[in-house]
Amino acid sequence: MTESDNIRVPVSQQPHSVTKSKKENGIGGLVSVQINEKAVMVPLGTTILEACRKNQIHIPTLCHHEDLCLAGLCRICVVDVEGMKTLQAACSFPITSPLKIHTSTPMVRKARRHIIDLILSEHCGECYSCIRNGNCELQALAKEYGVDGYRFGHVEQPRYSVDRSSVSVIRDLNKCILCRRCIRTCIDLQEVGVLEAIDRGDKTHIGTFLDKPLADVICINCGQCTNRCPTAALSTNDPSDEIWEAIDNPNKHVVIQTAPSPRAAIGEEFGVAPGKSFTGELNSALKRIGFDKVFDTNFTADLTIIEEGTELLNRLKKVLVNCDTSVKLPQFTSCSPGWIKFIEHFYPEYLDYLSTAKSPQQMFGAVIKTFYAKETGINPDDIVTVALMPCSAKKFECNRPEMNSSGYKDVDFGLTTREMATMIKEAGIYLPEMPKTGFDDPFGEASGAGLIFGATGGVMEAALRTVYELVTGREVPFKNLNIEPCRGFEGIKQASVKLENCVNEYSFLEGVDLKFLVAHGTANAKKVMQMLKRGELNDVHFVEIMACPGGCLGGGGQPIPTSAEIRRKRAQAIYEEEASLPIRKSHENPYVKYIYERFLTEGPCGKLSHKLLHTHYTKRGRFIS
């Protein structure tokens, strides 16, 4: 069996299927088009939609999404191209010759209105009880086109039963408008391949292999589909009712840990433009809601760096000094639960390459219900740990049977950014205007290294800052500790840093070119695993993989909508917030030092660390779970 890319997307569906001219200003590079009596010049191959957007002409879309390949199947974006008998879909019509386009003729408007009415006639759902009320693309379109009645009728009874089998993602086919974005996300973007269109004609529905419940197939819970679904057909499994119950219960001590990616994006849920972090404001809001303590996940991110960094050095020693062939290199990061489930399903024979360190979320849960409980004298039975994450896979992660090393369920609930915003609004709080407060002790403020976990390359950068200094006694040779080769949204980044003049303890690494690789999105994870299979990673030591495009800041639970531009802004917010912090290396975090002195006294990768902060993985089926 070859590992060739059996790419599903036909050539006509890929963006820009027309070969673009090399020089835009060269002959044939630009085409003149007339859109609504406005004459513009556009590069050859531009779609009508792109041309209109560049010229502030609005065309509604539904199945179109910037991150995904073309579809042209909802037909909402149809426009009138002079000389063509039928209307053309603006999103997928490449301009290759001079055209006259009209975007709002009576026929176009009638067509759009009919299409919305048709979709509404089969859409079984009530806006006021729907989680996407206020942020639903169908709702917005209906408003834009003045829908005031069900011209073609309306379904009152649901046709399908809701799939609640998965603890991360809920599928409600009754709300599905068959835009196929979820399929293009799952198969083309993430290359996991869980969802496809089943049956034909009006029986078409989005389904899994043999229409099994989602929990029974190879869904990795990354939630990218929930982030791109225009309606509530796909949503994350919201535990906020149970969290409210715990908060309202005076006997329960409810603590929440917040990750950096939600903080960098939650402002979008309150109408703020992407790119501003609301860390301090969020702390106040959470206290006002009723959480007893607010902790910074970056603390355990720092802890993860210490544990994982130590593990890497141990592996390097075993390989380079003891020539132990049972030890696997490169070491893969293990903090992305979507990535973990991905490798458990698709590459179970390579589980030994994964670091055994838990994710920061799970480390925190274990630490809270042991160390924190001891320090404060609170019964761990009464502690409820909530994790605010950008991620829907974290819901699956905290429910994994082995995640109870504290003797209790380490993390009780995983909450996504969107779900958190709803809770905040429910409490009548307008987040952007809250005062800023800090995090609670004993975990206090974390280092910047922990904060940059939210961006792709962040874990690698944080790990290098610590590992390099441990090995050489010097800071990483990058200006302001900003390791640029780790930053940016390139699918797979590879770089290296030379270890010279090492301290005695690590003299075995003298002269070693520490090679690392960073990948984000499971499509790239797949490529990396294929490189591993082909032996192309034999001299690489450390690989960071994040399941979501962009890293955690592009997580499935993050605010909707998402786009490359939005993810870039979120990354900017994260790096800016980090640069201003006083401590920027994990090993300099005083609270990290504290926990090792007081609690994990055998040090990183010692017995207690292993019990609480490390985990093991499960081989899973290739096609069904």
Q: Does 92 bind another protein (CB under 8 A)?
A: yes
**Closest CB 13 distance from another protein, rounded Å:** 7
Comparing CB distances to another protein, the nearer of 534 and 622 is 622
Is 308 in the active site? yes
Binding part of the chain for another protein, among 93-101, 366-374, 418-426, 573-581 by CB under 8 A, reads 93-101
Is 212 in the active site? no
**Closest CB 70 distance from another protein, rounded Å:** 6
Comparing CB distances to another protein, the nearer of 430 and 623 is 623
Of the candidates 308, 408, 302, the one whose C-alpha atom is nearest the C-alpha of residue 365 is 408
One of 146, 201, 401, 582 touching another protein (CB under 8 A): 201
Q: Given the residues 402, 484, 510, 565, select the one marked as catalytic.
A: 402
User: Contact, 452 vs 584, CB < 8 A?
Assistant: no
Dihedral of CA 499/500/501/504: which sign? positive
Is 552 in the active site? yes
* Core vs surface per residue 436-459: b (16+ CB within 10 A) or e: ebebbebbebbbbbbbbbbbbbbb
- CA-CA distance, 488 to 95, in Å (whole number)? 31
Q: Given the residues 369, 394, 526, 569, select the one marked as catalytic.
A: 394
Is 311 in the active site? yes
The DSSP bridge partners found for residue 41 are: 32
The DSSP code for 399 is T
**Closest CB 164 distance from another protein, rounded Å:** 20
One of 197, 320, 321, 503 touching another protein (CB under 8 A): 197
Comparing CB distances to another protein, the nearer of 13 and 34 is 13
Q: Which two tokens stand for residue 408?
A: 């209790």
Q: Map the footprint of another protein across residues 548-577, applying CB under 8 A.
A: none
Q: Does 402 bind another protein (CB under 8 A)?
A: no
User: Contact, 442 vs 296, CB < 8 A?
Assistant: no
The DSSP code for 502 is -
What is the four-CA torsion angle of 189, 218, 340, 618, rounded to 10 degrees?
-160
The binding track of 125-164 with respect to another protein, each residue x by CB under 8 A or -, is --------------------------xxx-----------
Task: Compute CA distances 461 → 309, 456, 504, 589, 603, whole Å.
Answer: 12, 10, 24, 16, 22
One of 15, 21, 160, 196 touching another protein (CB under 8 A): 196
Q: Which two tokens stand for residue 271?
A: 């109408």
Q: Given the residues 137, 307, 344, 397, select the one marked as catalytic.
A: 397
Q: Which two tokens stand for residue 14?
A: 């890929």
Dihedral of CA 318/321/322/327: which sign? positive
Q: Does 72 bind another protein (CB under 8 A)?
A: yes
Q: Does 78 bind another protein (CB under 8 A)?
A: yes
**Closest CB 508 distance from another protein, rounded Å:** 41
User: Contact, 98 vs 62, CB < 8 A?
Assistant: no
Is 100 in the active site? no
HEC profile of 68-111: CCCCCCCCCCEEEECCCCCCEEHHHCECCCCEEEECCCHHHHHH
Q: Does 525 bind another protein (CB under 8 A)?
A: no
Q: Does 59 bind another protein (CB under 8 A)?
A: no
Is 461 in the active site? no
**Closest CB 88 distance from another protein, rounded Å:** 9
User: Contact, 516 vs 494, CB < 8 A?
Assistant: yes
One of 86, 157, 480, 504 touching another protein (CB under 8 A): 86
Q: Given the residues 552, 578, 586, 605, select the one marked as catalytic.
A: 552
User: Contact, 55 vs 35, CB < 8 A?
Assistant: yes
Q: Does 543 bind another protein (CB under 8 A)?
A: no
Q: Does 199 bind another protein (CB under 8 A)?
A: yes
Q: Does 53 bind another protein (CB under 8 A)?
A: no
One of 198, 215, 470, 579 touching another protein (CB under 8 A): 198
Dihedral of CA 551/543/14/342: which sign? negative
Q: Does 195 bind another protein (CB under 8 A)?
A: yes
Q: Does 12 bind another protein (CB under 8 A)?
A: yes
Q: Given the residues 355, 359, 406, 447, select the one marked as catalytic.
A: 355
Is 498 in the active site? no
User: Contact, 335 vs 359, CB < 8 A?
Assistant: yes
What residues line the site for another protein (CB under 8 A)? 1-4, 6, 8, 10-13, 17-18, 70, 72-76, 78, 85-87, 89, 92-94, 96, 107, 110-111, 114-115, 118-119, 121-122, 151-153, 177-178, 187, 193-204, 207-210, 217, 622-624
